[in-house]
Amino acid sequence: MAAVETKGRPARERIAELTPIADRELAARSLMGGFAYPVVAAVVALLSGIGGDYPRQSGFFIAVLLLFAFLRNAHIRHFKADYPENPRRWRLMFDILILIPAAIWGGVAMAVQLHYGLGIPFLMTILPTLGIATAAMSSLAAARSLYRLYLAVILGPLMIILAIHGNEDLGVALLAFIYSVFQFMLGSHFHRSYWEGLRNSYLLRQRADDLEQAHNELVEANRYRGEFLANMSHEIRTPMNGIIGMTNLALETELTAEQREYLRDVETSANSLLRIINDVLDFSKIDVGKIELVEQEFSCRKLLKELIRPLLLGAKKKGIGLHVDVASNVPDRLVGDPGRIRQVLVNLIRNAVKFTREGDVRLIVRLGARGGDRITLYMEVRDTGIGITDEQKKVIFEPFRQADGTTTREFGGTGLGLSISVRLVALMEGRISVKSEPGEGTSFFVTIPLRVAERECIPVPADASPRADGDAGAGVSPAPAPSREANGEGESRLTVLLAEDNPVNRKVAEKMLARLGYDVVVARDGVEAVAAFRENRIDLILMDVQMPEKDGLGATKEIRLLEAESGGHVPVIALTAHAMKGDREICVTAGMDDYLTKPISREVLKETLSKWVAVETA
């Protein structure tokens, strides 16, 4: 029996697993084979004259063969019911029902030879006998021992009687013997081929099942991982919102110089921790496909001004210059994901500032290829820092890897910024590369395909492009104040319903809203939020998503049902620590109008509220 190895699995265990499969196929191949005997016997009896000479015996012979054919057919059809209960008993009965008709046929063939010699009746009997034996080779290929017994009982009696009859029949006996040996050898070949095919097919199915199971486990693991990330995002951002919010509120009070310095350090540390948390969550979200790109129209130069402003102070503290150079032919109104472009450039510029001791850092923006409304934006972040070796270039884009990973390294960080950047650029169908020499600085090159907005503005003059030279105010104009804001005067004060279960975050948001000039109605869960909406004239709702009793999604749906009865529409803004792909869509589907991710700053809150309320300018 040919062997096909299965790594780490004993041969006996493999045979035990394959035997039921082989027996099932053996039964299927032999289902109608039993009916060949009575049909062939009737034809031989009719054409050879045996039926005329011995009509009663021929009829009985055919009837017996037909009976065994029905018994065999019935036994095979009960395979599914009988085999699992006792496989050995089923197989024994199957072998008996195969061998008895063969033995009867062999005995009758011997009787025909004894009575008619080598005449026409004998020849018309021997030829079908050889044909039946050959046909059985295929149907009994799974059972080599059974096929050999089958050949012995159907051909054995004939060969013995031919051999006994002396010289005239000896040649025929020799031919029959040679034929039997050939059938034995060919049957063994069929048997080996059958089992090799069966084993290979079984292994393929088993591996396919293993792959499917591994795939399902991976999908399930990714689902759990996504849920874990969502929960971690919520559980981490919620207290971070309290820390940063309370620190900002405290900095707006009367403080001594020492107290203000301490709180500034807390604020800096909290923001650093938030950046690390965001990096880890962003990397994990990209890894499980939970991050999405937002295609929207934006101003290229405004984006560069906004992203460079918070980086100026760090550059000034180190005594290095920070410059931005935008070519005048770069279109200003573009369509893409400004948030992800900002994230990539901030990562690269922050790294450049961190690894530069003297000199300057430059952000250079140029127009690459252009075809119709499609352009390639070419961006280079160049520094005069410590540089990168060829060996370090091979690993800096890998997650959690840094150019210097030793415990004595001078520069901190998680080693995720560049890995996130290269993956974000790839999601935007762009490319990122690096050129550097140790001690001579580093240049990171980013190319991103974008679309020019239909209402493209005329590029601003070169001297109006965003720039920075190390002075915190150089080249960056302060952002214009919103055209509409709450002012706290008389009847113009608007009422905001704040639904937030976390006491610290509730206090932070309440203080921020009060300082922005709004009256605030507080609810600690979704049930209180719906009740407060019924009892008060509400102009806008800030709704936390995850709350006890009734969550923000359920509360929003109930409020929308109330509005459907009474008319009107109050803007509902999700105020949540959930920051995974699909969270915004879930909020919008529930009836919310906008989405704010914790931790929030007063500036972001002010800007978002101004989009949804109409208030007289102070």
560-617: per-residue pLDDT in tens?
Answer: 998 888 888 899 998 876 655 567 778 888 889 888 887 788 888 888 888 887 533 3
- Any bridge partners for residue 574, and if so which? 543, 595
How far is it, in rounded angstroms, from Cα 280 to Cα 358? 30
How far is it, in rounded angstroms, from Cα 599 to Cα 601? 7
What is the structure's pLDDT at 110? 85
Per-10-residue mean pLDDT for the chain, 618 residues long? 41 65 84 85 86 88 90 89 89 91 88 81 82 82 85 83 66 74 80 81 84 86 70 73 82 86 81 71 64 84 89 87 93 91 89 89 92 91 89 70 43 63 88 89 93 65 41 35 38 82 87 89 92 91 88 91 87 77 75 84 85 55
* 531, 484 contact by CB (below 8 A): no
Q: Residue 603, SS3?
A: helix
How far is it, in rounded angstroms, from Cα 320 to Cα 384? 10
What is the structure's pLDDT at 165? 66
How far is it, in rounded angstroms, from Cα 257 to Cα 223? 50
How far is it, in rounded angstroms, from Cα 282 to Cα 427? 13
What is the structure's pLDDT at 459? 46
Global pTM reads 0.48
Q: Rounded to 5 degrees, what angle do the CA atoms 16, 21, 25 make? A: 140
Q: How many CB atoms lie within 10 A of CB 266?
A: 16
Distances (CA, A) of 535 to 45, 119, 358: 104, 114, 62
How far is it, in rounded angstroms, from Cα 456 to Cα 458? 7
Q: List Cβ neighbours of 348 (8 Å cut-off, separation of 6 or more).
A: 381, 418, 421, 444, 446
Q: List Cβ neighbours of 139 (8 Å cut-off, separation of 6 or more).
A: 26, 29, 30, 33
- Using alpha carbons, select from 431, 335, 332, 418 the residue that is nearest to residue 379: 431
* Residue keyed to tokens 């879930």: 586
Task: Report DSSP letters for 379-430, one per residue.
Answer: EEEEE-SS---HHHHTTTTSTT--S--STT-SS---S-HHHHHHHHHHHTT-
* 347, 420 contact by CB (below 8 A): yes
